Amino acid sequence: MLDSEMTQTARRRPSKQSSVAGFTLAAALAFPQVAHAEAPLRLRVLTWNVWGLPAVSTNLKARMAMVPEAIAKLNPDIVLLQELWAESDGVGVRQGLERHGYPFACHLAHTDYGMTGLFTASKLPLRNIGFLPFAAGRIGHSFWHLEWLASKGVGSFAVQTSLGEIEIQNTHLQAQYETDAYDAERLSQASEILLMPQDRAQPLVLGGDFNTGAEELPRRALLDLDALRDTTPSPHPDTIFVRNGTTLQLRVLEAREALTEPVRLENGVVTELSDHPAVVVDLELSVCNACAPVAVVGKTGTREAAHAALVTAAAITPWRVTLALSVAVSLGAAAVSFFRRTAALLAPSWHFRIFRRSTLALLATGVVWTVYLGVLYYPARAKALRLVAQELELLPAAKAATPRP
């Protein structure tokens, strides 16, 4: 009887062993879901200057038609394009990428500040944060320097991943020309990127065409003053920088160039799709309990070098203004003298008339250009450089995290 009661009681009351086993089974079912949710996530990011300049780029329509498929073959999760100027080209690229699994895209073809040429697409949900125009480089030294047609700056986006949100920035710094290298402008623009308000609690991926090599001061400033890592430290201008957040970190797995081989376009021409290679970087996003500090520890030497370069470039402005206006006066005097001397000639030949008009046109162009340099370009340039230099000088040795409102 007692044995029967004990057996029935045992059946009704779980033993300690069975309770432990049940808890273990429940934990085994629950923990894999947590582990799966926090498992590292691989992200592939592509940045590419697609050379989409209307009326200048060759085979533009045929090349843009092949851009989406070429990108899709590389299977990036996030796409950063530069020099996609025309809105119609952006629509075509966007539709093509959407067919290949990129439902989220933003083309900053027209902003309140002008064209940017920046295009961002993603397989993951993408939210546009905003566009920051650079203070320096808004007007060109020479009218044939086509940078003045655009608004150079940095576009910021938020991408939602299974582990959390990361910030994506897409930018294109000032190009170099034979008559002006624009070194100070690029340094100023790089400084503006690191000075802009950012939520440093989030991981950051910054990609684009920096028009400067890894050994030059603009990219060194981003490394030393903004705690960024250059994934492709080479002389080539295109690269991707990354930075950890407070609870999420980015690890660089691989970085390489792509899309450098000639292809046959739909018009039969065999050529490269762009005058720039694409840069593809594989990243690992993971949760961390003690990520790298979000404070920016500025290296004094780099900051002093950047500040000195900007101040020096601005300081020579009075001399440049004087020179430009002096040349304008000289050209104007030469034009008046040439006009008077040649006007007295009787029945000049048509060859001479063409020569005279061409010469006067060249002299007049020189006057207009040098007056523009002395009155507008150099003063505006100096003002922008001084503004950024002042902000850079105030950059603290440790810049605390400043979440975006």
Instruction: Indicate if 255 and 319 belong to the same structural domain.
Output: no
State residue 397's pLDDT score.
54
Separation between Cα atoms, residue 91 and residue 107, nearest integer Å? 8
State residue 198's pLDDT score.
83
State residue 303's pLDDT score.
85
Which among 289, 324, 354 is the end of a domain? 289
Instruction: Indicate if 230 and 347 belong to the same structural domain.
Output: no
Tens digits of residue pLDDT in 323-353:
999 999 999 999 999 998 888 776 678 888 8
Instruction: Indicate if 76 and 165 belong to the same structural domain.
Output: yes
Residue 318 covered by a domain: yes
Residue 354 covered by a domain: yes
* Ordered DSSP codes for 57-106: STTHHHHHHHHHHHHHHH--SEEEEEEE--HHHHHHHHHHHHHTT--EEE
Residue 273 covered by a domain: yes
Instruction: Indicate if 273 and 367 belong to the same structural domain.
Output: no
Separation between Cα atoms, residue 178 and residue 181, nearest integer Å? 7
Residue 301 covered by a domain: no
Separation between Cα atoms, residue 235 and residue 211, nearest integer Å? 10
CATH at residue 190? 3.60.10.10
Count the residues in the chain: 405
Which among 255, 289, 323 is the end of a domain? 289
Longest dimension (CA), the chain: 144
Question: Which stretches of the chain score pLDDT less than 70?
Answer: 1-37, 290, 292-300, 346-347, 396-405
Instruction: Indicate if 257 and 118 belong to the same structural domain.
Output: yes
Instruction: Indicate if 190 and 50 belong to the same structural domain.
Output: yes
Residue 57 covered by a domain: yes
Separation between Cα atoms, residue 118 and residue 101, nearest integer Å? 20
State residue 292's pLDDT score.
60
Number of domains making up the chain: 2
Range of the domain at 358: 310-399
Which among 226, 257, 289 is the end of a domain? 289
Instruction: Indicate if 184 and 64 belong to the same structural domain.
Output: yes
Tell me the CA distances in angstroms from 268 to 3, 63, 150, 242, one per residue in order. 93, 11, 31, 39
Instruction: Indicate if 210 and 314 belong to the same structural domain.
Output: no
Instruction: Indicate if 216 and 327 belong to the same structural domain.
Output: no
Instruction: Indicate if 278 and 339 belong to the same structural domain.
Output: no
Encoded amino acid at 29, one letter: L
Residue 343 covered by a domain: yes
Residue 238 covered by a domain: yes
State residue 348's pLDDT score.
73
Instruction: Indicate if 173 and 321 belong to the same structural domain.
Output: no
State residue 345's pLDDT score.
75
Residue 176 covered by a domain: yes
Instruction: Indicate if 278 and 314 belong to the same structural domain.
Output: no
* Ordered DSSP codes for 237-283: SEEEEEE--SSEEEEEEEEEEE--S-EE-TTS-EE-S-SS-EEEEEE
